[in-house]
Amino acid sequence: MRVTFRLVVSIVLAAAAVSAGWTFFSARAERARLIDELDHRGSLLAEGLREAAEPLAKRADAKALERIAGRFGGRERLRGVSLHRPDGTAVAATSGLPPTAPPPREGRPFDCGLLDDGSLHRCTAPLEESPGFIAVFHGAAHVEAGVREVWRRGFMRLLTQVLLMSAITLWIVHLDVLAPIERTVEWMRLLRAGEDPGPAPPQGSVLGPLAREATKLARSLETARAAAEEEARLRHAGHALWTPERLKEHTKDRLRGKPMIVVANREPYLHVRKDGAVTVLRPASGLVAGVEPILKACGGTWVAHGAGDADRETVDSSDRVRVPPEEPRYSLRRVWLTREQEEGYYYGFANEGLWPLCHIAHARPQFREQDWKQYHAVNRLFADAVLTEIEGVEEPCVLIQDYHFALLPRMIKEARPDARVSLFWHIPWPNPEAFGICPWQREILDGMLGADVVGFHIQYHCNNFLETVDRALECRIDWERFAVRRGGHATLVKPYPISVALEENAGPPPSKEELLRSIGARGTLLVLGVDRLDYTKGILERFLAVERFLEDNPAYVGRFVFVELGAPSRTTIPRYRDFVEEVKREALRINARFDTKDTRGWRPIVLAVGHHERTEVARWYRVADACVVTSLHDGMNLVAKEYVASDREEPGTLILSRFTGASRELRDALIVNPYDVERVAAALRQAIEMEPEERRRRWESMREAVREHNIYRWGARLVDDLSRARPAGAAST
Ligand code: G6P
């Protein structure tokens, strides 16, 4: 209240000062104008009368003077005329005038001015032929009255302004400051008391930034409290669940405080220009979803290709930027690639060569000499970036991600034998015959074996890798320890099934109806698919299964809706571009089949092609009755785990391809062969019609699997094995 009072008083004082100053100058100008007008009139009359009145001065003929003045009697405000000797005494004067008047000042033809009390104005002019002067008098009371009127009007204006401004100020202060503060205070009080505070206060007002910060602070406290409660619960239950805090402490201990360096081609945050402004984009990538929680928990540096069109504008002089943008926890170091390098290394060798080589999904790998050279050159470029990052750090710890960097482990080790290096391969590894078609298989295997630890999602891929090494290189395989020994160096080859963090206490779920409406979908039974638009994901097979399901179960026409959130990916590659078109065509074809006059406005398949923010996808997970993952071949597939990890009020059902790594852990999903359209269609029906009890049992068992084998456990196991590695010259740990 005191603030409001001070604000209003300040406004009143400021308005009064401005208004008073303005009125003062207006009054002064009005006074000058009115006197000028009298001066003008007086001097004109004195001039006009002087000649006629001059003879009367000699005769001191007041009567005649009265007559002459009478002729001007109609003149406004004229009070009279008098004739004077040089000393000022009147020789003749019309009645009611002062007996004397001061003679005109030297050098002025007319001497005009107000008399002392301001009620009369006098203008004098010397006579021409005899000594003395003539004086003309006008009433001047209106001058002061005019000035008073100006002040009165000024005051009224001030009063109106002050009243209006105060009312508006009070209104705005109440609406935009006091009410939001009251609401925010109440919201935070409830939060502090551990009660449900409802939705966060609106962010649009002037207090928006403050409310945003307060919201974040409150949420952090809430998360910290939940984490502490969870820790306490687990300690009590003797459970060893991995949490971000536990991983942080564990990593600090195992790496003896050394920073963690992660290398992955895809950056977790791209800065891009949109409508002239720089915005942040989080890419659709299983790798990013899996690895980022580790860096958020432990800190460190992520070295990645700077692919956003505004990336260069947002880094410092060492090409670094702190992320996540809203709450920085670690550094992102960007490496710049030319168009040719990106073409050859990323699109060419990595995604047209290694990707189809490792995924058995019936796409022919393309191996071009030029792409291989670029792949080699870019691996060297990243090696240089990493070497700068680890300069001066003894026994640094470098975690390399994926098939983009098969040559990097060896390059780093050659320059820094003391470094502990791991390479995690996020995609499958095929059998030795399949991999053997790669013209550079020996170089690739040699590069990978520079690492102390090579990880895959499942044991099967480790076995394939070891067999490939066994056939292609001169080395010793220790099948008991799953290690490759070559020239005095050992590489441990182990499965580390990647995972996600369980989402808990996410607040009230969104409305399914609203989400569906937002993309123009209709239906009550929502089945979801979330993918990068990649030919390995089995999206076309899934559509065929939806078609078959509706053919076999017409009762669901109009009620069932399949939403596919598809993120375009690697679209410079013709195979991917064609695939997006194929997916769109197939959705159109199936929708057209079911478009009858009874189903107007309903489509069985709603394909939302575009970039979908992780927070948006998370909202869909929370309301979808079932999620379908039908990859033809997948290292792990984190969409399956993300769905299971989502904080839902009711259990959901997961339909999962047996060709994913996830199917080895999520055994209570409905496991399908995605090529078997009939079986997937039947699984859709089974998912929808499942008894609630069975649905809950399966859901809880899958959630338990993700809870225990979460992403922090993945990070901890990798760090553990890496810390046990014995790089050249390393102290034993
Ligand atoms: C999926 C794969 C990862 C791969 C990523 C690349 O997430 O599982 O192994 O690194 O896709 O996607 P990108 O868009 O970066 O090519």
For a mutational test of ligand 1's pocket, the pick from 281, 287, 342, i.e. the residue with the most ligand atoms closer than 8 A to its C-beta, is 287
Q: Is the CB of 637 under 6 A from ligand 1?
A: no
Helix (H, G, I), strand (E, B) or coil at 269: coil
Q: Do 571 and 481 share a structural domain?
A: no
Closest residue by Cα to atom 9, ligand 1, is 426
Lookup: tokens for 682: 């039947």
Domain containing 337 — which CATH number? 3.40.50.2000
Whether residue 273 is contained in a domain is answered as yes
Q: Do 264 and 406 share a structural domain?
A: yes
Domain containing 62 — which CATH number? 3.30.450.20
- Check whether 248 has a pLDDT greater than 90: yes
The 10s digit of each residue's pLDDT in 468-516 is 999 999 999 999 999 999 999 999 999 999 999 999 889 999 999 999 9
Q: What is the distance between the alpha carbons of residues 537 and 607, in angstroms, rounded to a whole number?
A: 15
The mean pLDDT of 315-331, rounded to a whole number, is 97
Its pTM surpasses 0.85: no
pLDDT at 101: 74
Q: Is the CB of 287 under 6 A from ligand 1?
A: yes
- Check whether 136 has a pLDDT greater than 80: yes
Question: DSSP of 629-675, one letter per residue?
Answer: E--SSBS--HHHHHHHHS--SS--EEEEETTBGGGGT-TTSEEE-TT
Q: Do 327 and 263 share a structural domain?
A: yes
The residue out of 495, 528, 546 marking a domain boundary is: 495
Cα(287) to centroid(ligand 1), Å: 6
Which domain does 42 fall in, by range?
Answer: 2-145
The mean pLDDT of 55-84, rounded to a whole number, is 76
Q: Is the CB of 271 under 6 A from ligand 1?
A: no
The 10s digit of each residue's pLDDT in 599-639 is 888 999 999 999 999 999 999 999 999 999 999 999 999 99
- Check whether 371 has a pLDDT greater than 50: yes
Query: What percentage of the chain exceeds 70 in pLDDT?
Result: 92
The residue out of 443, 469, 495 marking a domain boundary is: 495
Cα(286) to centroid(ligand 1), Å: 6
Q: Which atom of ligand 1 is nearest to the CA of 635?
A: 8
Q: Do 300 and 234 share a structural domain?
A: no
Instruction: Report H helices in 390-436.
Output: 408-415, 432-435
Q: Do 619 and 580 share a structural domain?
A: yes
Q: Is the CB of 426 under 6 A from ligand 1?
A: yes
Q: Tell me how many degrees the CA angle 131-137-143 measures, rounded to the nearest 5.
A: 140
Closest residue by Cα to atom 11, ligand 1, is 285
Residue 602 has a CB neighbour count (10 Å cut-off) of: 19
Closest residue by Cα to atom 12, ligand 1, is 285
Q: pLDDT: is 628 or 127 the higher one?
A: 628
Q: Is the CB of 284 under 6 A from ligand 1?
A: no
pLDDT at 106: 75
Q: Do 665 and 545 share a structural domain?
A: yes
Cα(635) to centroid(ligand 1), Å: 10
Cα(285) to centroid(ligand 1), Å: 5
Q: Which atom of ligand 1 is nearest to the CA of 264?
A: 10
The residue out of 468, 495, 522 marking a domain boundary is: 495
pLDDT at 530: 98
Q: What is the distance between the alpha carbons of residues 77 and 139, in angstroms, rounded to a whole number?
A: 5
- Check whether 274 has a pLDDT greater than 80: yes
Q: pLDDT: is 226 or 335 the higher one?
A: 335
Q: Please give the radius of gyration of the chain, using alpha carbons only, rounded to the nearest integer.
A: 45
Task: Give me the chain's average pLDDT, please.
Answer: 91
Q: Do 223 and 324 share a structural domain?
A: no
Q: Do 520 and 491 share a structural domain?
A: no
Q: Is the CB of 285 under 6 A from ligand 1?
A: yes
Q: Is the CB of 569 under 6 A from ligand 1?
A: yes
Whether residue 81 is contained in a domain is answered as yes
Q: Where does residue 689 rank: exposed (0-12), middle (13-18), buried (19+ CB within 10 A)?
A: exposed
Q: Do 329 and 425 share a structural domain?
A: yes
Q: Is the CB of 566 under 6 A from ligand 1?
A: no
The 10s digit of each residue's pLDDT in 692-726 is 999 999 999 999 999 999 999 999 999 999 999 98
pLDDT at 732: 42
pLDDT at 58: 74
Q: Do 491 and 358 share a structural domain?
A: yes
pLDDT at 75: 67
The 10s digit of each residue's pLDDT in 10-66 is 888 888 898 899 999 999 999 999 999 999 988 888 888 888 887 877 777 777 777
Domain count, the chain: 4
